[in-house]
Structures are given as structure tokens and as C-alpha cells.
């Protein structure tokens, strides 16, 4: 009966959710339709960059009367259309019309106009800077703490002016959760554009390690290169080297579009550049140098303690297991460790492997005299009990509701720095729960050098050993080797796309 009641409640909740989704979709359609109608009325304004005052007057009244738009909202609607159609000059003329005819200019109209000014792609004029600074001053006086949506517009616009550094005080005074990737991107770009590289580096570091959003990545790095190309060309090579060292220090894997910009710049500055691949043992296909061996930048024991305290002993683990179950497992590991390889058994059975493939993998490990631990759930025991015929394999059974990822992590880490693991799971969720940035980087390095992966070759799955080389930017015998990626997703598997760069005067 309890199951039936629970199911009924679930179905009611789902029905309400679907109803809300339908209503929201209808509202979006109606809003889009109304916006299209307003846009048609505005076409005469959109067709000219310098609309006369009588045209502004007539169209403003048409929108109020024909489309039932309240007068208090009409100017924001018109400015919205200007913004979406990228008609900054028309918007400036219209805003000037409102001021000269003494229409009420609310703070919301000012904020919308500020948003329009912030979208300018070229350098702003002195008059535009004055307008931006005036509106920003109004906003500062209006709000003790600027709301996030307005803060984004405020920072973007202010970063276009000569007073961009005042943004740093605003950021300090606002709570950290309000400072998102877009805000940090505006500041970093402004810093590089104005030759304040140290500030730019500080914000790039925060962006690269705390954000998956690709917003304005290219613009930030292009501003960096453009500053040296335009103002300090004699220091360009040093600036390029400094950025490469920055990527090396912080394990940054840049986007391909960013690498392309650096490659183009380098080729024009007496650098040789080639897009390359690395062999499995880390040899460059162009210069034939080998990548350096991977090393954890932090003490292995420190990483283990961090994972233990933040992932294994925290409250989250006991949502899908019990303290007694974990204690029993810990005691078992402490008595039987170290293991050479820990296998996510459930993952393998439900994963991409056929039984024959699993048997091949296990046989390979057995031949290598590896001490193996297979972790799975009770209901999957029959699928893997054949493994017990091998003396060097142990099987540990968890309850059917238990999240086995954390058990696999504990067993591998507790077995020491030489232990490896085999799992389909990329452990993204667990990585993101580590609070310290350096610990997240250390965890990623450990994962890349300790996790077995595989490739599809024809209809076969080929097991690939963990890499031994450092998969981040590095310099080898005067050649920079820098990995790059197509998207800004976190790195959980080794990158196989690289660029090899060498300055001719090294």
C-alpha cells in the first residue's frame, strides 16, 4: 500500500511538472509572437541609423496603442529590439530623443541603455565613456549591493572605460557567488587590454579552474596578444613564453581556437609551429622529443587524506551506503592491501565489455601476476564468480543500493601510489566535490596516470594502459609542447591533440 501511495504521489508531481512546462512553452510562444509584431512596427526605426524625432514620436505611440504596451515599459521594449538587431547608433539617437523631450528616464531604462553601450565591439568614444560612467554612478548610488543581473551589465560596460580598475572594488564588495565567469572574463580582457597582465593572469586562473563556460575565452587571450602586438612588440616573444609557462604551471589545456591565435602570432614572430600527435609513450611526431614523466605536484598522502575527508568520510557517502558497511570494507582493505589493480565490477558487467573481453582483460592481468580486487554488488556475483578460480583475485560484494565508485577510490588510493583502477566511470561528480583547486588538479593527474581506458578498434575494445607522461604544457629541449581541446569540458582522459612550437632564436 505504501508503494502504491508513493507511486501516486510521484505521478501527480510529474503531471504538475508537465503542466508547468506546457504553460511556460505557451508563454514563450506568445512572448515571441508579440516581440515579432513590435519589431514590424519598429522597422522604419531599424532601417536608419539616424531616425528623425517625429519618427521616434510616431512609432513610440504606435507601439503603445497598437500593441497595448504600457507607457512605463515601451522604451525598454524599443531598446530591447535595438539591442537584438545590433542597432547601437539608432538606440543612441532614440535615447537622446527621450532625454531631450523630457520623458521619464527610469533606472531600468538607464540599465538597458548601459547594456546597449556595453555591446560595442570597437573602442568607445569620449561621449560614450561619459554616459557609461554617469549611469554606473547612478547604479552605485541606487544599490548597496548590486543585483547579479545588473552587476554583469555594470562590469561589462565599466571595463570598456579608462576607469575599469574600479570594478575590482565592486567585485570585492559583492558576495563571491555573484562573481561568475562572464564578470571575470570582462575584467581579464580589460586587464590585458590595458597592459595589467598580473591582474589578467589572476582572473584567467580563476576562470580556467572554476568554470566550464567557454564565454569570451578567445577575447581574453586575443586582448593579451593584441596589447603586445600594438604597444610592446619587442616584448611579444617574452609575453608568449610567459603565457606558456602560466599554462604549464596551472595545468591549463586551452581551446583550439586559442591555440590557433597563438600559432598564427608565433609564426609571424620567428617561431616554428606544428600541429602534432604523441605516441603512447609520449614522443612528439614532429621534433621526436619525449614528454616528461608525470609527477603529482602534491604529496600523494595529502591527496589521499583530502579524498578520504571530503569524499569518503563526508555526509554524501552515507546517502547510498551505511557507516557499518564502509567500516567493514575499510577493515577488509587494511588487512588485504596493497592491490595492484582495482576493478569496478558492476561497471564492467553493465559497461561496454562482453564476457569474452572481460576474460581477456583478467587473463592479461593474471599473467602479469597482478593482485586484483573486483568490487561489485551482491546481485551481480553470478556474473563474475568465475574469476575466483584465480588465486590472485579477490571479489568484494556490496549491497545492491551502494554507490561503488567511492569504494573503488578508497581501495585504489589505500593501496598506494602504484595501484591502478579499471572503470568506465570518469568520476566527474567526485572530482567537483573537492573544494581545493590544487587537490582537484592533483586528483586529475592521479586519475590520468592510474586509470585504464580503452579504444574501439573495429569491433574490438582494446585495453589501454594509463599514461606515464605529463599531459600538460611543457618545454622539452627548447620545444614547447602544448595540448589543446575542442570544448571546455574538464579533462578526464588524456588529450591526443598537441602543438609543437620552437623559437628560431632559442
Instruction: Determine the pLDDT at residue 353.
Output: 60
* Cα→Cα distances 26→21, 33, 228, 343, Å: 9, 11, 51, 50
| Region 338-344 average pLDDT | 93
Instruction: Determine the pLDDT at residue 26.
Output: 36
Residue 209 has pLDDT above 80, yes or no: no
CATH 1.25.40 spans which residues of the chain? Answer: 30-208
Confidence band for 322, pLDDT divided at 50, 70 and 90: confident
Grid coordinates belonging to 347:
561497471
Instruction: Determine the pLDDT at residue 22.
Output: 42
Instruction: Determine the pLDDT at residue 427.
Output: 78
Q: Is 281 helix (H, G, I), strand (E, B) or coil?
A: coil
Instruction: Determine the pLDDT at residue 25.
Output: 41
What gap in Å lies between CA 431 and CA 189, rounded to an integer?
29
Instruction: Determine the pLDDT at residue 237.
Output: 93
Instruction: Determine the pLDDT at residue 1.
Output: 47
Instruction: Determine the pLDDT at residue 182.
Output: 85
> Torsion angle, CA of 227/233/235/238, rounded to 10 degrees?
80
Instruction: DSSP letter for 319, please.
Output: G
pLDDT in tens, 44-69: 877 877 888 888 888 889 888 888 88
pLDDT in tens, 86-145: 888 889 999 999 999 999 999 999 999 999 999 887 889 999 999 999 999 999 999 988
Highest-confidence segment of 215-219, 302-306, 357-361: 302-306
Residue 189 has pLDDT above 80, yes or no: yes
Q: What is the average pLDDT score of the chain? A: 83
Residue 216 has pLDDT above 80, yes or no: no
Which is higher by pLDDT, 12 or 358?
A: 358
Which is higher by pLDDT, 369 or 320?
A: 369
pLDDT in tens, 5-58: 554 554 555 555 554 544 444 344 345 556 678 778 888 877 877 888 888 888
Share of the chain above pLDDT 90, in %: 38
* CATH number, span 30-208: 1.25.40
Overall fold of domain 299-426: Rossmann fold (3.40.50)
Instruction: Determine the pLDDT at residue 124.
Output: 92
Instruction: Determine the pLDDT at residue 40.
Output: 82
Residue 349 has pLDDT above 70, yes or no: no
Burial letters 209-248, b for 16+ CB under 10 A, else e: eebeeebbbbbbbbbbbebbeeeeeeebbebbeebbebbb
Residue 279 has pLDDT above 80, yes or no: yes
Which is higher by pLDDT, 404 or 288?
A: 288
Instruction: Determine the pLDDT at residue 441.
Output: 85
What gap in Å lies between CA 338 and CA 411, rounded to an integer?
8
Helices 181-193 and 197-210, axial angle in degrees (round to 10): 160
Residue 178 has pLDDT above 70, yes or no: no
Share of the chain above pLDDT 70, in %: 83
CATH 3.40.50.11980 spans which residues of the chain? Answer: 299-426
Residue 173 has pLDDT above 80, yes or no: no
Instruction: Determine the pLDDT at residue 27.
Output: 40
Checking 224-232 for CB contacts under 8 A at 24+ apart, the result is 224/192, 224/197, 224/200, 225/261, 225/262, 225/265, 226/193, 227/192, 227/193, 227/194, 227/195, 229/265, 231/195, 232/195
Amino acid at each position: 500500500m505504501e508503494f502504491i501511495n508513493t507511486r501516486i504521489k510521484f505521478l501527480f508531481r510529474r503531471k504538475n511538472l508537465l503542466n508547468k512546462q506546457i504553460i511556460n512553452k505557451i508563454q514563450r510562444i506568445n512572448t515571441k509572437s508579440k516581440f515579432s509584431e513590435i519589431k514590424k512596427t519598429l522597422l522604419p526605426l531599424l532601417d536608419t541609423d539616424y531616425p528623425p524625432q517625429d519618427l521616434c514620436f510616431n512609432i513610440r505611440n504606435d507601439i503603445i496603442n497598437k500593441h497595448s504596451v504600457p507607457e512605463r515599459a515601451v522604451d525598454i521594449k524599443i531598446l530591447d529590439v535595438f539591442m537584438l538587431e545590433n542597432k547601437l547608433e539608432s538606440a543612441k539617437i532614440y535615447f537622446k530623443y527621450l532625454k531631450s523631450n523630457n520623458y521619464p528616464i527610469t533606472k531600468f531604462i538607464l540599465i538597458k541603455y548601459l547594456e546597449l553601450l556595453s555591446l560595442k565591439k570597437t573602442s568607445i568614444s569620449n561621449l560614450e565613456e561619459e554616459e557609461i560612467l554617469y549611469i554606473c554612478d547612478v547604479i552605485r548610488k541606487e544599490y548597496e549591493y548590486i543585483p547579479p543581473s545588473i552587476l554583469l551589465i555594470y562590469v561589462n560596460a565599466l571595463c570598456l572605460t579608462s576607469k575599469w580598475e574600479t570594478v575590482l572594488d565592486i567585485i570585492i564588495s559583492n558576495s563571491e557567488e555573484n562573481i561568475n565567469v562572464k564578470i571575470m572574463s570582462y575584467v581579464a580582457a580589460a586587464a590585458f587590454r590595458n597592459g595589467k597582465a598580473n591582474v589578467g593572469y589572476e582572473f584567467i586562473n580563476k576562470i580556467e579552474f572554476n568554470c566550464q563556460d567557454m564565454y569570451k575565452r578567445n577575447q581574453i587571450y586575443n586582448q593579451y596578444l593584441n596589447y603586445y602586438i600594438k604597444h610592446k612588440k619587442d616584448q611579444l616573444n617574452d609575453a608568449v613564453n610567459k603565457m606558456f609557462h602560466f599554462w604549464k604551471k596551472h595545468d591549463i589545456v586551452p581551446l583550439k581556437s586559442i591555440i590557433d591565435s597563438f600559432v598564427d602570432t608565433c609564426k609571424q614572430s620567428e617561431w616554428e609551429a606544428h600541429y602534432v600527435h604523441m605516441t603512447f609513450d609520449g614522443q612528439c611526431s614532429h621534433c621526436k622529443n619525449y614528454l616528461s614523466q608525470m609527477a603529482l605536484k602534491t604529496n600523494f598522502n595529502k591527496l589521499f587524506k583530502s579524498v578520504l575527508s571530503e569524499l569518503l568520510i563526508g555526509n554524501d557517502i552515507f546517502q547510498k551506503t551505511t557507516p557499518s558497511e564502509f567500516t567493514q570494507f575499510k577493515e577488509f582493505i587494511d588487512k588485504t592491501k596493497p592491490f595492484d589493480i582495482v576493478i569496478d565490477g558492476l561497471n564492467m558487467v553493465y559497461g561496454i565489455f562482453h564476457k569474452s573481453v572481460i576474460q581477456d582483460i583478467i587473463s592479461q592481468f593474471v599473467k602479469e601476476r597482478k593482485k586484483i580486487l573486483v568490487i561489485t554488488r551482491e546481485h551481480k556475483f553470478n556474473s563474475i564468480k568465475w574469476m575466483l578460480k584465480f588465486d590472485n583475485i579477490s571479489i568484494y560484494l556490496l549491497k545492491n543500493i551502494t554507490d561503488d565508485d567511492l569504494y573503488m577510490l578508497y581501495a585504489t588510493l589505500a593501496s598506494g601510489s602504484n595501484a591502478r583502477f579499471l572503470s568506465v566511470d570518469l568520476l566527474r561528480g567526485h572530482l567537483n566535490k573537492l573544494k581545493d583547486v590544487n587537490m582537484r588538479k592533483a586528483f586529475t593527474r592521479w586519475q590520468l596516470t592510474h586509470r585504464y581506458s580503452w579504444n574501439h578498434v573495429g569491433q574490438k575494445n582494446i585495453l589501454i594502459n594509463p599514461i606515464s607522461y605529463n599531459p600538460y604544457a611543457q618545454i622539452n629541449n627548447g620545444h614547447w609542447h602544448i595540448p589543446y581541446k575542442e570544448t571546455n569540458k574538464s579533462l578526464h582522459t588524456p588529450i591526443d591533440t598537441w602543438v609543437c612550437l620552437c623559437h628560431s632564436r632559442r
